[in-house]
Structure 1
Amino acid sequence: MRAPSPTLAVHGGRPVRDERCPWPVWPVAAPGASAALDAVLHSGSWALTSPYREELQERRFARKFADYVGTEHCVPTDHGSSALVIALESLGLRYADPVLVPALTWAASATAVLRAGLVPVLADVDPATGCLDPSALAGESELGAVIAVHWACNMADVPAISAAASPLGAAVIEDAAQAHGARWQGRPAGSLGVAGCFSMQHSKVLTCGEGGAVVTDDAERAGLLEELRADSRRYREDPVRGELPLRESATTMGANFCLSEFGAALLCAQLDVLDEQHTIRNRNYATLGRLLADVPGVRLLTRRPAQDRLSLYEVPLVFDPLPQDGTNVWVATALTAETGMRAYPPRPPLSRSHLLAPWAKPTLAPLAERFTQWNAGRRFDGAEYLSHHAVLLHHSAFLGTEEDMFDMADAVKKITLYIAAGRPA
């Protein structure tokens, strides 16, 4: 490899990585994906609401994913945000009950709370892990639920959060949209709370373009979740050929959040290669960690020892000193220029997000007023720090080779040396 130019690529220097060296693309179709989609195309059953002919792909995926996550039940949905909505609705809370949500997460973790008729109460995160810390519950006197988000590549300590939430009578729901296959003391993400919610959106490690799922060990809750996502209908125990595979049980009013047969078939295929992809990503992440361990001015997130298996979604590189008169946006631009792999800053904390604006919907006006009241005066120092100092890499960057990690480490070192020299952005 050519010796990198001491001049940064953003300033006209030669980049660390030759532009002719492509990074892995995402998504990667599993070997059986095309056949699975073709089978659905010619099956005569394209949706859960198709007349029954044979076992639906939706039911097959539900069984396979429940087994993968180690839960008794899985209810697939059309989106991860839909999964959060019905999981919250299954708790039986009252209108406008408060739900604790970490401030550093995608907006859907909070907007789903509003869609369920509840109020998101924002809490700070630990700047070392990026996740909600159990101590954040210490000052709360009233909560209906807690959404514990597994962020980027770290898991929240759900057992400790559950212990802190128990005296308040608050249920803990895992937002595991970024944690398919991660484990906490041997237990898979999603299996630690009363329910676990997943997203299978395009960028996720398990994807069908758009999809989601709720997992739980509670049979009664699982039946309720089925109704909440299929217009008050549950699976028939003995479906009849030519009839709908759903019965109008109607113990609650639901909506249509069903996953299509095409999405379910694709997820079945993709699930078969997920652990193989985890092995590659996690090996490369460990390599990058070793290469950056002694580089001053940059660090990876701290992982709790209890998290004994990683699932990389986004990998934060935290630059503690930033360049003179510069931001992490500049660092992300510089890293992208050196490597050809897009690097980007985290979203701003939800307290500043223009995507979380309940006052913009007239029908949410009562909840918007309570949202403002509940969150007045709260501080989010940890979330703000990571928002301003972290730079993210998508998990696809880790599906390549060890040489890719050497290039990434060299680029990071080049930028940290520039910052240490006190040069302006």
Structure 2
Amino acid sequence: MTYSMTQPAELAVAGGTPIRPSTRRWPTWPIPAPEAESLLREVLHSGRWAITSPEGSELFERRFAREFARYLGVRHCVPVDHGSSALVVAMEVLDLQYGDVVLVPALTWTACATAALRAGLVPLLVDVDPDSGCVTPEFLDQDVEARALVAVHWACTMADVPALTAAAEPRGMVVIEDAAQAHGGEWRGRQAGSMGRLGCFSFQNGKPLTAGEGGAVVTDDPTLAPRLEELRADSRRYRGTSAPPGDLDLEESATIQGANHCMSEFNAAVLCAQLAVLDREGEVRSRNWRRLRELLAGVPGVRLLEPRPEQTRMSMYEATIVFDELPGAMTIEEVAGALSAELGRRFYATDTPLHRSPLLAPWTKPTLAPLAKRFVDLHAGRSYPNADYWANHCVQTHHSAFLGDERDMRDIADAIAKIVTARGPVVEGQASAHGLG
């Protein structure tokens, strides 16, 4: 039974009856693909647990690189240990100079900015589009000479990478496409991650394509691919020919100094299995997202974050519900706490924008002092009204909620309607008192 907006009821967070009974479970995550267990056993008994193992059967790392590149329609894929590492080596491979500026959207995870600092560069935060939450050409800073742009696909929307490239290249900027939240998404038929000079992915535990941890850099540029291999494997790349018996598949090519960011064989094997179910799971999420949109059509002041028409296939990492009109005197954190109490799963405000985030604080590391000073100087007097709006009006939940069925979508819609029409505001601190803030 759909919740009636004409009958306000007491919120669960204030002691009322929740919309969803505790006996009804939400889909779990991660979900092992059918082949995952057998591939892990194969690694376990192969004698090859890392790409630095002696030669033998084909490495799963190489198999995943080949299959993921084919899936994306790119020529090269270099797996790494984390999505943050993917961003670091992508920046390092561009031969930028120490202290060069990299544009980073203010509305994203901190790793996009801290990766620049780790690569000896200075992140400059730019505001985002009020409709998509992604960077668009009009928000590229014109007053600072930047050398690269991290174009982030956010939550369930994609940045217009072709338009950003057209705006950035005449100014000498390289576009690094951050597709860490967009596995399987498409822009006018092109896969997320395949449109920038370099594309970066994360396979962290919560991502739609996951191995617990992991990442990858992809590119069509044949000059960058071998250097990316060196940057992630202590200056070594794969041999052009078969390794001698008992030797490694890597050779000490050493054209650029690298570090160890290698993906383990266990993670690579899991990714080979999970890639096979990525699109099928994505279709379920998209179908449920469309249904929720229909159910919320009559709820005033509430909408779903919607991809642009050019986004021909949706990918969802975090489902984003926009409360343009906050209910009563509630803050967005209180709205999130109220939804959590009604539905028995975590809903939360989006990440604090980077210009206010305590996670981005380069001045706390003495070795970053010169970069930190430039970072502080560059940001003096800047403001980010659109990023702040998203942060103050968005509630998100993990994509696994959308792997269920229509009944789950009805529960979400009913909970939102109940909160919008609630009797009186939530008392400050009430959500956290229930352990749901």
1:412 aligned onto 2:416 = yes
| 1:348 maps to which of 345, 352, 371 | 352
1:388 aligned onto 2:392 = yes
1:226 aligned onto 2:229 = yes
| 2:9 maps to which of 3, 6, 11 | 6
The residue identity in structure 2 corresponding to 1:90 is V
| 1:292 maps to which of 291, 296, 303 | 296
1:80 aligned onto 2:83 = yes
- Provide the rounded CA distance (Å) in 2 between the counterparts of 1:88 and 1:370: 18
Contact 2:3 2:417 in 1 (8 A): no
- Provide the rounded CA distance (Å) in 1 between the counterparts of 2:3 and 2:136: 43
Structure-2 change in CA distance of 1:417 and 1:195 (3 Å): same
1:132 aligned onto 2:118 = no
Contact 1:138 1:164 in 2 (8 A): no
Any idea what the Cα deviations from partners look like across 1:209-259, whole Å, max 9, x if unmatched?
110000000111011100000011110122223110001110000000000
Which residue of structure 2 aligns with residue 61 of structure 1?
64
Q: Secondary structure at the match of 1:369?
A: helix
1:200 aligned onto 2:200 = no
Which residue of structure 1 aligns with residue 169 of structure 2?
166
Q: Return 219-228 or 159-168, whichever deviates more.
A: 159-168
Structure-2 change in CA distance of 1:53 and 1:373 (3 Å): same
Query: Which structure 1 residue ranges, 5 or more long, are not aligned?
Result: none
1:319 aligned onto 2:323 = yes
Shift of 1:424: 5.0
Contact 1:177 1:199 in 2 (8 A): yes
- Provide the rounded CA distance (Å) in 1 between the counterparts of 2:297 and 2:327: 20
Which residue of structure 1 aligns with residue 146 of structure 2?
143
- Provide the rounded CA distance (Å) in 1 between the counterparts of 2:79 and 2:426: 50
Structure-2 change in CA distance of 1:329 and 1:236 (3 Å): same
Contact 2:183 2:315 in 1 (8 A): yes
1:275 aligned onto 2:264 = no
Any idea what the Cα deviations from partners look like across 1:253-288, whole Å, max 9, x if unmatched?
000000000000000001011111001111101111
Q: Secondary structure at the match of 2:150?
A: strand
1:257 aligned onto 2:261 = yes
Shift of 1:326: 2.3
Q: How does 1:42-57 map to 2 (within 5 A)?
A: 42-57=45-60
- Provide the rounded CA distance (Å) in 2 between the counterparts of 1:148 and 1:32: 34
Contact 1:141 1:168 in 2 (8 A): no
| Two-structure CA RMSD over aligned residues (Å) | 1.4
- Provide the rounded CA distance (Å) in 2 between the counterparts of 1:39 and 1:247: 25
Shift of 1:304: 1.2
Contact 1:323 1:422 in 2 (8 A): no
The residue identity in structure 1 corresponding to 2:368 is L
The residue identity in structure 2 corresponding to 1:148 is A
Contact 1:323 1:424 in 2 (8 A): no
Shift of 1:100: 0.3
The residue identity in structure 1 corresponding to 2:226 is G
- Provide the rounded CA distance (Å) in 2 between the counterparts of 1:424 and 1:103: 30
Which residue of structure 2 aligns with residue 89 of structure 1?
92
Any idea what the Cα deviations from partners look like across 1:99-135, whole Å, max 9, x if unmatched?
0000011100100000000000000111221111210
Q: Secondary structure at the match of 2:276?
A: helix
Structure-2 change in CA distance of 1:6 and 1:364 (3 Å): same
1:357 aligned onto 2:387 = no
| 1:248 maps to which of 243, 246, 252 | 252
Q: Secondary structure at the match of 1:139?
A: coil
Which residue of structure 2 aligns with residue 103 of structure 1?
106
- Provide the rounded CA distance (Å) in 2 between the counterparts of 1:257 and 1:131: 28
Among all aligned residue pairs of Structure 1 and Structure 2, give the percentage whose two residues are the same amino acid. Answer: 60
Structure-2 change in CA distance of 1:138 and 1:216 (3 Å): same
Structure 1 stretches (4+) deviating beyond 4 angstroms? 1-5
- Provide the rounded CA distance (Å) in 1 between the counterparts of 2:336 and 2:189: 34
1:27 aligned onto 2:30 = yes
- Provide the rounded CA distance (Å) in 2 between the counterparts of 1:349 and 1:3: 34
Shift of 1:138: 5.3
Which residue of structure 2 aligns with residue 310 of structure 1?
314
- Provide the rounded CA distance (Å) in 2 between the counterparts of 1:127 and 1:203: 26
The residue identity in structure 1 corresponding to 2:235 is S
Any idea what the Cα deviations from partners look like across 1:383-410, whole Å, max 9, x if unmatched?
1011111000110000001111011111
- Provide the rounded CA distance (Å) in 1 between the counterparts of 2:242 and 2:186: 36
| 1:236 maps to which of 235, 239, 242 | 239
Contact 1:98 1:142 in 2 (8 A): yes
- Provide the rounded CA distance (Å) in 2 between the counterparts of 1:424 and 1:9: 10
Any idea what the Cα deviations from partners look like across 1:324-343, whole Å, max 9, x if unmatched?
44211100010011111210
- Provide the rounded CA distance (Å) in 2 between the counterparts of 1:47 and 1:140: 46
The residue identity in structure 2 corresponding to 1:92 is D
- Provide the rounded CA distance (Å) in 1 between the counterparts of 2:55 and 2:155: 40
Q: Secondary structure at the match of 2:64?
A: helix
TM-score by length of 1: 0.97
Which residue of structure 2 aligns with residue 176 of structure 1?
179
Structure-2 change in CA distance of 1:257 and 1:138 (3 Å): closer
Which residue of structure 1 aligns with residue 432 of structure 2?
none
Structure-2 change in CA distance of 1:49 and 1:12 (3 Å): same
